[in-house]
Amino acid sequence: MRQAIGLFPVAWRIALREMRGGLRGFYIFMACIALGTGAIAAVNSVSSDITQSISAQGRNLLAGDLRFELNNREANTDERAFLAGLGEISETINLRSMARLPDGSDQSLVEIKAVDGKYPLYGKVETQPDPAAAADWRSDTGSSPYPALVAPLLLDRLGLKPGSELLVGDARFRIAAALDKEPDALSEGFGFAPRLMTTIEGLKATGLLKTGSLVEHAYRIKLNPGAPSLQAIQDQAKTKFPAAGWSIRTSNRAAPALTENVERFSQFLTLVGLTALIVGGVGVANAVSAFLDSKRTVIATLKCIGAPSTAVIMVYCIQIMLIAAIGIALGLLLGIVAPIIAARYLSEFLPLSTGAGFHPAALVLAALFGLLTTAAFSALPLGRAREIPATALLREGGFERRRLPSWPYLAAMATALVVLAALAIWTSQDRYLALLFMVAMAGVFLVLRLVAAIITLAARHSPTVHFPALRLAISNIHRPGALTTSVVLSLGLGLSLLVSLALIDGNLRQQLSSNLPEKAPNFFFIDIQGSEIDGFRQLLKAQAPKASLEAVPMLRGRILAFNDKDVAKMEVPSEGRWVLRGDRGITYADRLPQDTSLTAGEWWDSAYKGEPLVSFSDREAKALGLKIGDSVTVNVLGRNITARIANFRKVDWESLSINFVMVFSPNTFAGAPHAWLATLSNPDATAKDDATLLRTVTNRFPTITSVRVKDALDTINHLVDQLAFALRAAASVALVASVLVLSGALAAGNRGRTHDAVIIKTLGATRRTLMRAFTFEYVLLGLATAIFALLAGGGAAWYVLQHIMKLPSDFLPGVAVATVVISIVTTVTIGLVGTWRVLGQSAAPVLREL
């Protein structure tokens, strides 16, 4: 160690002097490091910007300091008194319903939000084209038509404009302006329909607020000065009103679902960026090998004049780290600029700041990944250069078989890789997923090396062919210094990732566009009152006699405890967490629902009168760690009800029929007010038939909410399109890294190619023969890599779809063809571009060096 420290100043000076000649040979090195580092820095910077903006703008995003939300009931006198004691209150009511034209010719599902005069407590409502309309739109609230702000999408869908009128339920509304932005839209989650904002008086006039209707009552609080902390208020509310069943949201966690989704998505993109960086590591190894190969004479000279091997390696290690620092700096610059660019395009949908996108933690993390990747993949080439004696460096042309370096270099590489993996796992939100990713990455690298070895072995033992160009191509695949390993490593990982993402995307689209519509009902009908159910059935029987109608009672309930243990204090796996998030639809039945089957336990008798029993969905019960006999406490209409799990049943969620996580015995809710939920299935109905039926039901029963399943699936398809674009963009980063690495590998092999080409041309081969040989070689390598990518990517996609998403997985031939074409075209194009210059070399200078 003391000797190394003493040699460092000399090595530093020599390294800087050598770098005066420029960075030739290291441009691809820098590009690989910059691309991977930049992807990680950009993703984490944008993610940090969103999460920090959510935290900083929490009051605006919540339109209050706290929000207490109740489902299907208003706060009672005691609860209102408690809320009033905290500060100023603003009440809003949310529900879905149908908005229709006054003449009944058209209608649309809308998300209604009724607000009082104090809304919003923080932030502001924005309208277009006249911003002033947001200030006075509630000034006339005493009589019909009631004022309303509507989303531009609803105006376009129904052909309306400000000043037009529309009907909702039993009330008439006048459109005051188009709603451009509401401050708390993100905290309220995703809606399937355009927004219609009106006054509470207007909503009450619609007749939609009936017992059993799916209604959300929210109470936002602007705290008094000196009020207790947000956590203290939450604890006090739960202690004082244990059976309230309200959901409490605070401004420091205004949009937890959005934050969690952003963090999960950014984690995925970070892993993809890490993939690009590790793929780039192969490029680092190739570039370092090529660079050290070009410095053989210099290294030999230094060793011959007495320079210790440690000093020689230190010179080039300094150069490599300095050049890596330049690449990392370029990547970090992208990370700084990314939030500014993202804010310009995403600020309409997400809370992004428009200031400088400087997030030190994200940049430091990306820089560490870049440094560790450089150290890991440059250790072997440096070690090999150290082991070669000066006499061999001066005598040989650099085509000796490569050997493993001494153990310190192997240990350095292993240490850097372990630290790299540990850092990726430690900084991930889902560490188990990150661990699986790193294990899979290591496995893919080992398999790729095995694939390269198999290709080499197959080429070495292939039958002799009589076509000279093909025979030369096959020999190029297995000769010493062949590009086989570099090509397979560089393209294999990127293409495998691209195949897996394409297959997942394709299967999701297939499920949404073909499989789901085949099984899904035509309509969902919500908020059917008990007094309307008989007339509703008669109407549908008359309008669609061949259709199948299924109707069940429906309530809303929030799971509070399992076996008297508060679910808020339980560690729940991500696949079961959705069951506990917010209120769930629940029902009761005296017989097993259609299209379900028991997996454990027994169903209750139709005349059962004992303790409350519940049937739980099998898959969700396993995710939550439940078993037969466990108790479930649910808050329904402000009452806590505890039921014992009697059985588990298999639920086909993909059918989109009426399915519930929990089905209770009928005696559990005897006498409880509730509405009905219904589905209508008619595979033979046309779009015109659906439109006619929708119009008839809406005009006859204006308080019943009708949801056309195809419209909902179109909305989901649009979201999948946006998500798929982001995934493809992420995959393209890894593929670009693969292309860079491939270019670097071919550049690194140009010295050997030049000697081969010159000797073969001297022996009488034409440039055309050589071009054919190289083309065949690149086609064979590209085809072999594509086959591996299909197998590896297909296997990964199958696992994700079957075991994580719980969806059917099909092999899509189009993806196979596209992968093969991309692989071969990329390999041949880059290979021939790099080889063209080799074929033009003069023979004499090369022959003199042999």
* Residues above pLDDT 70, as percent of the chain: 76
* Residues above pLDDT 90, as percent of the chain: 10
Asked whether residue 632 falls in the same domain as residue 655, the answer is: yes
Residue type, 828: V
pLDDT at 850 over 60: no
pLDDT at 834: 63
Characterize the bridge pairing of strands 584-588 and 662-664. Answer: parallel
pLDDT at 257: 63
The total of other beta-carbon atoms located within 10 Å of residue 689's CB is 15
> Among residues 226, 253, 280, which one ends one of the domains?
253
Q: Which of 118, 116, 113, 121 is nearest to 66 (CA)?
A: 121
Asked whether residue 137 falls in the same domain as residue 247, the answer is: yes
Q: For the whole model, what pTM was predicted? A: 0.66
Q: At 398, is the pLDDT very low, low, confident or very high (cuts 50, 70, 90)?
A: very low
Asked whether residue 827 falls in the same domain as residue 848, the answer is: yes
Q: What 3-state class would DSSP assign to 554?
A: strand
Of 9-23, 429-443, 709-723, 814-828, the one with minimum mean pLDDT is 709-723
Measure the CA–CA gap between 279 and 494, rounded to whole angstroms: 7
Is residue 350 situated within a structural domain? yes
Asked whether residue 193 falls in the same domain as residue 342, the answer is: no
The total of other beta-carbon atoms located within 10 Å of residue 392's CB is 13
pLDDT at 263: 65
Is residue 192 situated within a structural domain? yes
Asked whether residue 52 falls in the same domain as residue 84, the answer is: no
| Torsion sign across C-alpha atoms 798, 800, 801, 806 | positive
Is residue 529 situated within a structural domain? no
Range of the domain at 27: 1-57+260-429
| Torsion sign across C-alpha atoms 251, 252, 256, 262 | positive
Asked whether residue 604 falls in the same domain as residue 672, the answer is: yes
Q: How many CA atoms lie within 13 A of 284 on its CB side?
A: 33
Decide if 708 contacts 526 (C-beta within 8 A).
no
Please provide the average confidence, as pLDDT, over all residues in the chain. 78
* Across 746-757, average pLDDT: 62
> Among residues 429, 457, 475, which one ends one of the domains?
429
* Across 482-508, average pLDDT: 76
Q: Is 226 left (phi over 0), alpha (psi -120 to 50) or beta?
A: left
pLDDT at 844 over 60: no
Is residue 846 situated within a structural domain? yes
pLDDT at 514 over 70: no
Q: Give the tens place of pLDDT for each residue, 193-228.
A: 889 999 999 999 998 887 767 888 999 999 888 888
Q: Give the tens place of pLDDT for each residue, 759-786.
A: 666 666 677 777 787 788 878 888 888 8
Helix, strand, coil tally for the chain in percent (to 5): 60, 15, 25
pLDDT at 497: 74
pLDDT at 468: 80
Is residue 410 situated within a structural domain? yes
Asked whether residue 297 falls in the same domain as residue 422, the answer is: yes
Asked whether residue 217 falls in the same domain as residue 86, the answer is: yes
Q: At 399, is the pLDDT very low, low, confident or very high (cuts 50, 70, 90)?
A: very low
Is residue 734 situated within a structural domain? yes
Asked whether residue 49 falls in the same domain as residue 86, the answer is: no
CA triple 439-442-443, angle to 5 deg = 85
> Among residues 429, 464, 495, which one ends one of the domains?
429
Asked whether residue 108 falls in the same domain as residue 197, the answer is: yes
Measure the CA–CA gap between 824 and 822, rounded to whole angstroms: 6
Is residue 694 situated within a structural domain? no
Q: Is 189 left (phi over 0), alpha (psi -120 to 50) or beta?
A: left
Asked whether residue 289 falls in the same domain as residue 421, the answer is: yes
Is residue 528 situated within a structural domain? no
Measure the CA–CA gap between 73 and 87, rounded to whole angstroms: 22
Asked whether residue 300 falls in the same domain as residue 203, the answer is: no
Q: Give the tens place of pLDDT for each residue, 539-560.
A: 988 888 888 888 888 888 888 8
DSSP annotation string for 252-303: GGS-HHHHHHHHHHHHHHHHHHHHHHHHHHHHHHHHHHHHHHHTHHHHHHHH
DSSP strands (E only) in 303-399: none
Q: Give the tens place of pLDDT for each residue, 314-349.
A: 887 888 888 888 888 988 888 888 777 776 666 666
DSSP annotation string for 322-341: HHHHHHHHHHHHHHHHHHHH
Domain count, the chain: 4
pLDDT at 105: 85
Q: What 3-state class would DSSP assign to 207?
A: coil
Question: Among the ranges 28-37, 271-280, 512-521, which has the highest mean pLDDT value?
Answer: 28-37
| Torsion sign across C-alpha atoms 16, 18, 22, 25 | negative
pLDDT at 355: 52
